[in-house]
Amino acid sequence: MKTIYGSLPFYDSLSKTDKARTNANIPIHCSKEQLPPFLVQVGTDVATVTSIKLVNCTGGETDLLTYFSSFPAVAQATASALGYYIQHISTALTANLPLGSHYVKITKPDTTYYSDWIHVSNMATPMAHFCKIEFSNTNNLGDINYGDGYSQVVWLEAVLNNPSHETINTGEEKDGIFIPEKIVTKYTYSIIAYVTRAIYRCLIRLPQHDSITITDELGNTYTPDAGNVTIETDWVYYDVCKLTIKFNDGENSQFSWTL
Angle at 84 between CA 96 and CA 2, to 5 degrees: 85
Residue 245 forms part of a structural domain: yes
Residue 5 forms part of a structural domain: no
Residue 106 forms part of a structural domain: yes
Q: Residue 183 has what pLDDT?
A: 83
Residue 148 forms part of a structural domain: no
- Whether 110 and 200 map to the same domain: the answer is no
- Whether 179 and 115 map to the same domain: the answer is no
Q: Residue 210 has what pLDDT?
A: 94
- Whether 117 and 212 map to the same domain: the answer is no
Residue 2 forms part of a structural domain: no
pLDDT digits (tens, 9 = 90+) for 195-216: 999 999 999 999 999 999 999 9
Residue 114 forms part of a structural domain: yes
Question: What's the mean per-residue pLDDT of the chain?
Answer: 88
- Whether 114 and 170 map to the same domain: the answer is no
Residue 93 forms part of a structural domain: yes
Whether residue 75 is predicted with pLDDT greater than 80 in this model: the reply is no
- Whether 170 and 127 map to the same domain: the answer is no
Peptide bond into 98 cis (omega under 30): no
Whether residue 227 is predicted with pLDDT greater than 80 in this model: the reply is yes
Q: Residue 170 has what pLDDT?
A: 80
Residue 56 forms part of a structural domain: yes
Q: What's the structural domain count of the chain?
A: 2
**pLDDT, average across residues 94-109:** 92
Whether residue 72 is predicted with pLDDT greater than 80 in this model: the reply is no
Range of the domain at 39: 10-131
pLDDT digits (tens, 9 = 90+) for 77-89: 766 567 888 888 8
- Whether 169 and 107 map to the same domain: the answer is no
Q: Residue 80 has what pLDDT?
A: 59
Q: Residue 88 has what pLDDT?
A: 86
pLDDT-derived band of residue 246, with 50, 70 and 90 as boundaries?
very high
Final residue before a domain boundary, out of 131, 155, 174: 131
pLDDT digits (tens, 9 = 90+) for 17-38: 988 888 878 899 999 988 999 9
Range name among 125-129, 158-162, 247-251 with the lowest pLDDT average: 125-129
pLDDT-derived band of residue 184, with 50, 70 and 90 as boundaries?
confident
- Whether 115 and 177 map to the same domain: the answer is no
Residue 251, strand partner residues? 249
- Whether 105 and 181 map to the same domain: the answer is no
- Whether 103 and 177 map to the same domain: the answer is no
Q: Residue 126 has what pLDDT?
A: 61
Report the CATH number that the domain containing residue 93 is assigned in CATH: 2.60.40
DSSP-derived secondary structure for 109-132: TTEEEEEPPEEEE--PSS-TT-EE
Cβ-proximal residues to 201 (8 Å cutoff; 6+ apart), any chain? 5, 9
Phi, psi of 95 (to 5 degrees): -155, 160
Whether residue 45 is predicted with pLDDT greater than 70 in this model: the reply is no
Q: Residue 127 has what pLDDT?
A: 65
